[in-house]
Structure 1
Amino acid sequence: MLTGQVSLLCCLPSKSTNVVVPVETFEPTNGYEFVEVKPGRVLRVRHIIPERPVVEQPTGQGGCVSCKRRISVFCNGQLFIENLGDSAAAEQKTRSNGDTEPNSTVEVELTGCGNSSPPAQVPGTESDSVTAGKVVTAEMGTGGDALAASQAGASQDRHRRKLKRTVVIDCERKISACKGTHPDVALFFIHGVGGSLDIWRSQLDYFSRLGYEVIAPDLAGHGSSSAPPITAAYTFYALAEDMRLIFKRYARKRNILIGHSYGVSFCTFLAHEYPEQIHKMVMINGGGPTALEPSLFSVFNLPSCVLDCLSPLLSWSFLKAGFARQGAKEKRLLKENNAFNVSAFVLRAMMSGQYWPEGDEVYHAELTVPILLVHGIHDKFVPVEEDQRMAEILLIGFLKLLEDGSHMVMMECPEAVNTLLHEFFLWEPAAPPPPKSKARPETAKAQRDNTKTVSDPAKVRPATALQASLNSGAEVKFDRGDKK
């Protein structure tokens, strides 16, 4: 999701090699574990399972959200999204200001589209305006060039409306509150380029105290994970496979993914791979729903030795652009526990390995998991328009802006971020009202008979003399002479 200029996220101090615990020692110490995902590829993982004095099973039915939408991709690169959900799904479609909007369509221009044609229409025949344009041009008699231009424009218009493929999503998701006392809930925190699991320190401490099981890995070459000396070890697919193995090792029944910057791409990848196990997801300054492609004109394409020399300048640039304020607190956050300490080789390999063509608008539009987007308004790496675009593409997306934060908002405003995340974890859609039990209706004939019986007592069949006498309590005598 982050390309080009966003790569300055990695403007960090240089380090020669990563400190790694030997492979043969995997005993957890102080909540840290070392997992060998592949031979010689060891990742440090912070894994905290808090004590739960009261094991509370999930209560309440939660709510079911209907995920129905049709995504049409045209040959000119335009995207047409039509939401087909019922009222339950419409209630979850939220604008950036928190207001709800009804079922609607979204028309977007795919990133990297060379032409500047108008938004695509609903698949169908040509519009009347195109035909009228042809007639007017012919009547004006502008010559063969104008006619040829008109025909070329019509051909381009037909190409514009040519449908390339259609994706239909039709499913239902049950969404319930995730409390820290639920043993089937796990939180996964994934950092971005140049960071480490230490950037989540406030979040890990906060949610583990609330009883949540938390998992936060160091990407390869970051923090205290091993740093392979080959460039291929830092491609998106190699790192995504690491995150897949970590997820399979620690996953519970209901899992929540929290990603920052480049880490959002790995969360999206996991949400596609394991849609039934991902319950909710959080994107923090993740950028727009665009496919990843390394920038050809980036400072990180310079040789590693040059990047080593530029390390002080890069560190100052990151401090200025990554934080809303550049005071002693922010400098301390940069240096504390080597949270941003990665070698120039790893930095360069990470930026050149950001190639993920599958992660385009359609890939993100197919997500059916509820997603919270958190954006620091002072972020100079990711414009707010990118997260707004992401919120429009997503089926169930909630965009929250923090005025006091920048790119590293979870370190600058930990209390605000923790509160937003916790409220989102506990959120669940309103459960539908139980169906009312209806008695079997009477037939029309029975209703008429009952009405006549009540309204016209004179027509009630009279009782026999014997019944009348018994009801009145009178003595009844039988005359034997009357019998035959």
Structure 2
Amino acid sequence: MSSVFCREITVGYEDEGSGEPLVLVHGHPFDRSMWRPQTEHFSRAGWRVIAPDLRGYGESTVVPGTTPLETFARDLLALLDGLGIERFVLGGLSMGGQIVMECYRLFPERIRGLVFADTFAAAETEEGRTARRDMAARLLREGMSGYAQEVLGKMVSPHTLTHRPEVAAHVLAMMTAAPPEGAAAALRGRAERPDYTQLLSQTAVPALVVVGTEDAYTPVSDARDIHARVPDATLSVIEQAGHLPNLERPDEFNAALAEFLHSLPDSAEPAAASG
């Protein structure tokens, strides 16, 4: 566990193992501990795994207001620059996956491969923008606890709730601990996110698309859409998992990710972005 001051905020992060860098971006309203099964597994398997807390979450600085995806992406770049990491594999789940898309828009030459877990690429609808803004106001008014209890059954599958209660408890704890101001700022920023569908079709590096079969937020159809758009993409659909297959079914998730990582070309030469 480490922290560093960059871009006027303190960023908490994990940096474990050695070898080629694998950077993992958490979703909303979680923190870097959601990647614990991957940090532990891949740091032992010859990778240097970096998992930061996004601004507004975990041990990173809370900045009230609105946090656009570009701000998250530039925070990540500043952290990686500070760690001396030039090229890396970049993965994210849900909002983290959209931050990964924004990173590829801003600095594609730094990225060897992409992992999109339980996410989607389209811009928000008008209805969705209103819902995110309303939820931001609710979190500031009421705090995280009621919301966390309400959505737990959508975040994880019924199988996880029944057979892996410790995972459900971890998910609930992350959501309950999230600072309302940080979560609200992210919701407001995410409401205004751009449409990444065209960017996906211009992606010049390999990608892994992962989704849980019982994901209520980003269903398998969203993952199939991303898979169809990215020229060099692999799709992995994980049974009995909801929105967090990396926590709910870590062995299956890690196996899919390991196969993808082993398939990547050598990191010596950066790939040029197309388009």
Give TM class, smaller chain.
0.7 to 0.9
SS of the equivalent of 1:297 reads helix
Is residue 2–residue 12 contact of structure 2 (8 Å, CA) maintained in 1? yes
What corresponds to 1:291 in structure 2? 123
Which of residues 336, 346, 367 is equivalent to 2:182? 346
Q: Give the superposition deviation at 1:292.
A: 4.6
Name the CA distance, whole Å, in 2 between partners of 1:212 and 1:401: 24
Distance (Å, rounded) in 2 between the aligned partners of 1:319 and 1:356: 25
Aligned residues: 257
**Structure with the higher fraction of residues in helix conformation:** 2
The corresponding residue for 1:329 is 166
Match among 415, 420, 437 for residue 251 of structure 2:
415
Q: Is the 8 A contact 1:319 1:330 kept in 2?
A: no
**Contact 2:148 2:175 survives alignment (8 Å):** no
CA contact (8 A) 1:197 1:218 kept: yes
SS in 2 for 1:302: helix
Deviations, residues 387-434 of structure 1 (Å, cap 9, x unaligned): 1111111111111111121101100001111111111111158xxxxx
- The whole-number CA distance in structure 2 between the counterparts of 1:297 and 1:254 is 37
Q: Which residue in the other structure is 1:363 paired with?
A: 199
Aligned partner of 2:208 in structure 1 is 372
Query: What's 1:197 paired with?
Result: 32
Tell me the distance in 2 between the aligned counterparts of 1:322 and 1:304: 17
Aligned partners of 1:199 and 1:339 also within 8 Å:
no
Instruction: State how far apart, in whole Å, the 2-side matches of 1:312 and 1:304 are.
Output: 9
Partners of 1:247 and 1:367 in 2: CA distance: 21
Return the alpha-carbon distance in structure 2 between the equivalents of residues 231 and 350 of structure 1.
9
The answer to whether the 8 Å contact 1:49/1:208 transfers is: yes
Q: Work out whether residues 207 and 234 of structure 2, in 8 Å CA contact, stay in contact via their aligned partners in 1.
A: yes
3-state SS in 2 of match to 1:195 = coil
What is the correspondence of 1:224-243 to structure 2 with a 5 Å cutoff? 224-228=59-63, 230-232=64-66, 234-243=67-76
Across the aligned residues of Structure 1 and Structure 2, the Cα RMSD in angstroms comes to 2.1
Q: What is the identity, as a one-letter code, of the residue corresponding to 2:211?
A: H
Aligned AA (1:249): G
Q: 1:206 aligns with which of 41, 48, 51?
A: 41
Aligned 8 A contact 2:91 2:114 in 1: yes
Cα–Cα, structure 1 residues 340 and 285, in superposed 2: closer, same or farther, change >3 Å?
A: farther
Residue 253 of structure 1: how far off its partner (Å): 5.2
| Paired residue secondary structure (2:208) | strand
1:218 maps to which residue? 53
State whether residues 236 and 356 of structure 1, in contact with CA within 8 Å, keep that contact through their aligned partners in structure 2: yes
Normalised by the length of structure 2, the TM-score is: 0.85
Shift, 1:316, TM fit: 2.1
CA 1:372–1:390: 2 relative to 1, 3 Å: same
Quote the Cα distance in structure 2 between the aligned partners of 1:322 and 1:388.
20
> Does the 8 Å contact 1:300/1:307 carry over to 2?
no
Partners of 1:200 and 1:340 lie apart in 2 by 17
In 1: Cα distance, 2:175 partner to 2:145 partner: 16
Structure 1: gaps spanning 5 or more residues: 1-31, 51-182, 430-484
Q: After TM superposition, give the deviation of residue 348 of structure 1 in Å.
A: 1.9
Q: 2:228 aligns with which of 392, 400, 406?
A: 392
Q: Which amino acid aligns with 1:49?
A: G
CA contact (8 A) 1:388 1:399 kept: yes
**Contact residue 243 and residue 266 of structure 1 kept, 8 A:** no
Residue ranges of structure 2 left out of the alignment (5+ in a row) = 266-275
> Would the aligned equivalents of 1:186 and 1:251 in 2 still touch at CA under 8 Å?
no
1:134-153 equivalences under 5 Å are none
Tell me the percent identity.
21
1:36-185 correspondence runs (5 A): 36-39=5-8, 41-50=9-18, 183=19, 185=20
Q: Secondary structure at the match of 2:129?
A: coil
> Whole-Å Cα distance in 2 between the matches of residues 274 and 348 of structure 1?
27
Structure 1 position 340, deviation (Å):
5.3
Amino acid at match of 1:43: V
Describe the shift of the 1:305–1:399 C-alpha distance in structure 2 as closer, same or farther (beyond 3 A). Answer: closer
Is the 1:189–1:259 contact (alpha carbons within 8 Å) kept by the matching residues of 2?
yes
Distance 1:34 1:221 in 2: 14
Instruction: Check whether the contact 1:191–1:197 (CA below 8 A) recurs between aligned residues.
Output: yes
Using the size of structure 1 for normalisation, the TM-score is 0.50
SS at 1:221 equivalent: coil
SS at match of 2:49: strand
The DSSP-based 3-state class of the residue aligned with 1:43 is strand
CA–CA separation in structure 1 for the residues paired with 2:203 and 2:140: 41
